[in-house]
Amino acid sequence: MPQRGLQVPYYPTSPPDEFDDWPRWMDDELRRISEALKVNPSLVAINGTTTVAVDTTPTFTTLGLGDTPILDVPGGGWDVGLAQWTAPEAGIYIVSAGASVSAYGSGNKDYGAALVLFKNSLEILRRGYGGADNIPLGLALNGPIRMQQGDVLLLRMEIEHEQFTGNSTVNYNFSYLKSASV
Mean pLDDT score, 21-46: 77
The residue ranking higher by pLDDT, 133 or 121, is 121
Query: What are the extents of the domains in the chain?
Result: 1-40, 43-180
Q: pLDDT band for position 182 (50/70/90)?
A: low
- Can you say how many angstroms the Cα of residue 152 is from the centroid of all Cα atoms in its chain? 10
Kindly tell me the burial class for residue 173, based on how many C-beta atoms sit within 10 Å of its own C-beta (0-12, 13-18, 19 or more).
middle
Pair 80, 146: CB distance under 8 Å: no
Question: How large is the greatest C-alpha to C-alpha distance in the chain, in angstroms?
Answer: 85
| Residue 138 neighbours by CB under 8 Å, 6+ apart | 98, 99, 100, 129
CATH fold of 43-180 reads: Jelly Rolls (2.60.120)
Average pLDDT, the chain: 85
Considering only CA atoms, which of 177, 178, 172 is closest in space to residue 64?
172
Q: pLDDT tens digits, residue range 106-126? A: 878 888 999 999 999 999 999
| Residue 101 neighbours by CB under 8 Å, 6+ apart | 52, 113, 136, 137, 139, 157, 159, 168, 169, 170
- What is the Cα–Cα distance from 105 to 112, expressed in whole angstroms? 12
3-state secondary structure of 136: coil
Q: pLDDT tens digits, residue range 69-82? A: 988 876 668 899 99
Pair 125, 158: CB distance under 8 Å: no
